[in-house]
């Protein structure tokens, strides 16, 4: 009970942070609609695992090093930006087809990505964003003090990853609704282009971001 307020406060702020539109949201939405509910959920779980990377950085003191090192910050930043722009560019190249071909190609896409690939894409999208590391660094400073037992620190980190991962699982469940998917399938290339453009813009935003 001693640390209950910390667990509740951290969970609320982590959830609010996850609900802010960003690359994670776009990726989960895209994979849920374009591929399947299963792929969307695997992507969401990957994002939760990506959060654990930032938690590890923070608890191990690496997050502080990243926040102080412009070289490390930029290395992670540009790797993340390149990845987002790459997957966004692939979606931007989607071409319009007749409705029959559009539906057939959409069905084929269900087979083009494996659960493991979806999981890894979620991990990469989240873990390669240094701004998330800085977010967790500032977040944990508020809820973890020098006197907080290391076991409690680990539990707080696991809680954060679970809350964020669970939120994106809910997003995946909502956007993999069959009625919505049927409507999207008819204009599949436009949806691909829109999400692709969003990912490219987010990649550029990451590339132009600073530590402040």
Burial letters for 148-166: b for 16+ Cβ neighbours within 10 Å, e otherwise? eeeebbeebbebbbebbbe
Distance between CA atoms of residues 58 and 134, nearest Å: 9
Angle at which helices 70-92 and 188-208 pack, to 10 degrees?
A: 160
- Residue 135 in contact with residue 67, Cβ under 8 Å? no
> Which of these, 132, 22, 128, lies nearest to 79 by C-alpha position?
128
Q: If DSSP codes are grouped into helix, strand and coil, which group holds residue 114?
A: coil
Q: What is the DSSP letter of 187?
A: T
Q: Which residues contact 55 (CB under 8 A, 6 or more apart)?
A: 136, 157, 158, 160, 161
What is the model's pLDDT at position 110? 47
Do residues 84 and 198 lie in contact, with contact meaning Cβ atoms separated by under 8 Å? no
User: Is 112 in a helix, a strand, or coil?
Assistant: coil
Q: pLDDT digit of tens for each residue in the chain (212 aa)? A: 678 888 998 899 889 888 877 889 989 998 998 888 999 999 999 999 999 998 888 888 766 776 678 887 788 778 878 877 887 887 777 665 544 444 445 445 545 689 999 999 999 999 988 778 777 877 777 777 767 888 888 999 999 999 999 999 999 999 888 877 666 666 556 767 787 788 788 788 878 877 65
Rg (alpha carbons) of the chain, rounded to whole number? 18
The burial class, CB within 10 Å (0-12 / 13-18 / 19+), for 175 is: buried
Residue of 69, 165, 156 whose CA lies nearest to 122: 165
Residue 146 to residue 140: CA distance in whole angstroms? 11
Whether 193 and 71 have beta carbons less than 8 Å apart is answered as no
Nearest to 31 by CA among 200, 167, 196: 196
Q: Hey, which bits of the chain come out as E strands?
A: none
């Amino acid at each position: 009970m001693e640390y209950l307020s910390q667990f509740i406060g951290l969970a609320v702020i982590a959830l609010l942070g996850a609900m802010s539109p960003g690359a994670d949201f776009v990726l989960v939405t895209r994979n849920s609609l374009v591929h399947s509910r299963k792929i969307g959920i695997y992507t969401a779980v990957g994002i939760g695992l990506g959060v654990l990377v930032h938690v590890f950085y923070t608890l191990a003191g690496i997050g502080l090093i990243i926040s102080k090192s412009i070289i490390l910050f930029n290395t992670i930043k540009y790797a993340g930006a390149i990845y987002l722009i790459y997957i966004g560019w692939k979606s931007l190249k989607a071409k319009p087809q007749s409705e029959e071909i559009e539906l057939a190609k959409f069905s084929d896409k269900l087979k083009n990505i494996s659960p493991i690939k979806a999981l890894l894409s979620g991990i990469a999208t989240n873990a390669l964003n240094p701004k998330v590391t800085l977010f967790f660094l500032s977040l944990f400073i508020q809820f973890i003090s020098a006197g907080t037992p290391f076991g409690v620190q680990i539990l707080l980190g696991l809680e954060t990853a679970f809350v964020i991962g669970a939120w994106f699982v809910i997003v995946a469940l909502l956007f993999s609704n069959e009625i919505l998917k049927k409507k999207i399938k008819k204009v599949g290339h436009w949806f691909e282009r829109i999400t692709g453009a969003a990912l490219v813009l987010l990649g550029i935003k990451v590339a132009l971001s600073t530590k402040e």
